[in-house]
Chain A
């Protein structure tokens, strides 16, 4: 079993919809949780960073971490076509080594 599981999609939603992206993990030592957005043929861009459990909101993006269920989510409100990209979850116990999910491909249609 991989340490980080993420449904690769693709996920297609109409513009304005609320998008829910999720990852599950198996390593209870993970404490740092991140979401990256990656456009085609580009490097990942950090969107959200959360330490331990709880919610974090930044504009249209909300990240949630449920350590008891080993489950993290990223919500995108009022989705836009420009949000179309691959979203990668990443997590780490401490230090530097990030464990990435495979990424979920999102398409927001006008």
Chain B
């Protein structure tokens, strides 16, 4: 399967600081990437859809000014958690769909996830 890489895999930061998480598709191009958040023993919750070259689409209840998403190229999307607080501590996971597979929603590949701990 296709490979999606996330970095960093684990980050600890102080309250009030900003943290950037990168999501890269290593062996394919992706016009669309997705950012999820997962709390312990909970399901993945879609936060936003990242579109290359345009603004991200945020799910209801997700603060777009707090979770900044940039999809500057066909292989890279970044999620920046601004002014992070302890309640933002979570497991953030990105996913991507290879180009050219329009309606085949099954072929969605996930990164390894980034665990954020805000002290």
Binding site for B on A (CB under 8 A): 4, 6, 8, 32, 34, 36, 41-46, 49-51, 88, 92, 94-98, 100-103
The answer on a CB contact under 8 Å between A96 and B97 is yes
B96 to chain A, nearest CB (A): 11
The answer on a CB contact under 8 Å between B113 and A98 is no
A64 to chain B, nearest CB (A): 15
With a cutoff of 8 Å between Cβ atoms, the chain A residues found around residue B109 in the complex are 46
With a cutoff of 8 Å between Cβ atoms, the chain A residues found around residue B111 in the complex are 43
Closest to A8 in B: B41
A-B contact count (CB 8 A): 63
User: Which of A43, A50, A51, A101 touches B43 (beta carbons < 8 Å)?
Assistant: A101
The 10 closest A-B pairs by CB, nearest first: A49-B106, A43-B110, A100-B43, A102-B43, A43-B113, A32-B105, A43-B112, A44-B110, A100-B44, A92-B105
The CB with the most chain B CB atoms within 10 A, among A32, A42, A96, is that of A96
Pairs across A and B, CB under 8 Å, 11 listed: A43-B4, A43-B113, A44-B44, A45-B110, A46-B1, A51-B106, A88-B44, A92-B105, A94-B105, A95-B103, A102-B41
Closest to B41 in A: A8
Closest to A91 in B: B105
Instruction: Give Cα distance in the complex from A92 to B94, angstroms.
Output: 18
User: Which of A42, A46, A88 touches B106 (beta carbons < 8 Å)?
Assistant: A46
With a cutoff of 8 Å between Cβ atoms, the chain A residues found around residue B43 in the complex are 4, 6, 88, 100-103
With a cutoff of 8 Å between Cβ atoms, the chain B residues found around residue A102 in the complex are 41-43
With a cutoff of 8 Å between Cβ atoms, the chain A residues found around residue B93 in the complex are 43-44
8 extra A-B contacts, CB within 8 A, seeds A43-B6, A96-B108: A34-B106, A45-B1, A49-B107, A50-B106, A96-B32, A96-B105, A97-B46, A98-B108
